[in-house]
Amino acid sequence: MSKAALITGGGKRLGKAISLNLADWGYDIAIHYNRSDKEAIETADLILEKGRQCEIFQSNLSDIKQVRTLLPRVFEVFPACSILVNSASIFENISFEDITEEIFDRDLNTNFKAPFFLSQDFSKGDHSELIINMLDMRIDKIETEHFTYNLSKKALRDFTLMAAKALGPKIRVNGICPGPILPPPDKDIKYLEQIAKNTPLKKPGNPQYIITAVKYILDNPFVTGQCLFVDGGQHLI
């Protein structure tokens, strides 16, 4: 029975990079997507070309009813799924005074509530070993831009630590906190370069730095409850 991994938002951006590399490391891949079906299919095709099995699973993570059906569907196809990567998130810059109940629920459900209950469902698997939560370097800062996004990632950080304690020794739980790795869809590398000027290392990142962090967590069975900053030191300023 082949080992497998579920990556939420696994068809694009950092989720895609993680999916492809886990396939290179010998894992069959379950790719979750919401509306990015084209990207999910394209990524799945690349994984199939590597000789690994891959299936895509649609789910709106802001809808808890859909969230609770995702892991059962994945386990049906990949009963030996041993890794969960909570990568999908909503990143919106909405100021505090403009946040509605609808925006609050959508952001917190997708970025925090979904990873919470996916982790709970994942913990019931016979082969479950590792959860990696994609956080953000902002969890160590007090910033009011992207208000609900920052709030949700701070909550997910604390959940990461609590879950590591609650789920050991069966399951390790860790987080990765990216900094300027990829520009937003409407920006280019110059956007990252401008941000990087104010970081200690003064250079933008790239997805390979995140992959190196994932590999470290994967390969070190004595690491749990850690939130690894991969941000060029941006959280220090």
For the segment 204-232, the average pLDDT, to the nearest whole number, is 97
Sign of CA dihedral 156, 162, 168, 174: positive
Residue 191 within any structural domain of the chain: no
For the segment 57-67, the average pLDDT, to the nearest whole number, is 98
- Mean of per-residue pLDDT scores for the chain: 96
pLDDT of residue 153: 98
Residue 43 within any structural domain of the chain: yes
Task: Tell me which of 32 and 92 has the higher pLDDT.
Answer: 32
- List, in sequence order, every residue forming a beta bridge with 55; answer none if it has no partner: 30
Residue 78 and residue 30 in contact, taking contact as beta carbons nearer than 8 Å: yes
Residue 196 within any structural domain of the chain: no
Can you give the pTM of this predicted structure? 0.96
Closest C-alpha among 89, 141, 14, 18 to residue 6: 18
Residue 45 pLDDT more than 80? yes
CA distance 224 to 208: 22
Residue 15 within any structural domain of the chain: yes
Each residue of 139-154: pLDDT tens digit? 999 999 999 999 999 9
Residue 237 within any structural domain of the chain: no
pLDDT of residue 188: 87
Residue 12 within any structural domain of the chain: yes
Residue 165 within any structural domain of the chain: yes
pLDDT band at residue 107 under the 50/70/90 scheme: very high
Instruction: Enumerate residues 6+ apart whose C-beta is below 8 A from 190.
Output: none
In the numeric block, which tokens belong to residue 95?
Answer: 């100021």
pLDDT of residue 184: 81
Residue 43 pLDDT more than 90? yes
Residue 19 within any structural domain of the chain: yes
Residue 20 and residue 43 in contact, taking contact as beta carbons nearer than 8 Å: yes
pLDDT of residue 125: 96
Beta strands in 37-88 (DSSP E): 54-58, 81-86
Give the pairing of strands 227-230 and 4-7. unpaired
Instruction: Enumerate residues 6+ apart whose C-beta is below 8 A from 106.
Output: 62, 90
CA distance 204 to 24: 25
Rg (CA), the chain: 17
Distances (CA, A) of 58 to 69, 90, 111, 115, 175: 10, 16, 17, 15, 24
Closest C-alpha among 103, 109, 95 to residue 152: 109
Each residue of 4-14: pLDDT tens digit? 999 999 999 99
Number of domains in the chain: 1
The domain that contains 106 carries what CATH number?
3.40.50.720
**Strands ordered across the beta sheet of 28-33:** 54-58, 28-33, 4-7, 81-86, 130-134, 172-178, 227-230
For the segment 192-204, the average pLDDT, to the nearest whole number, is 92
pLDDT of residue 2: 84
Q: Whole domain around residue 218: which residue ranges?
A: 4-181+207-229
pLDDT band at residue 1 under the 50/70/90 scheme: confident
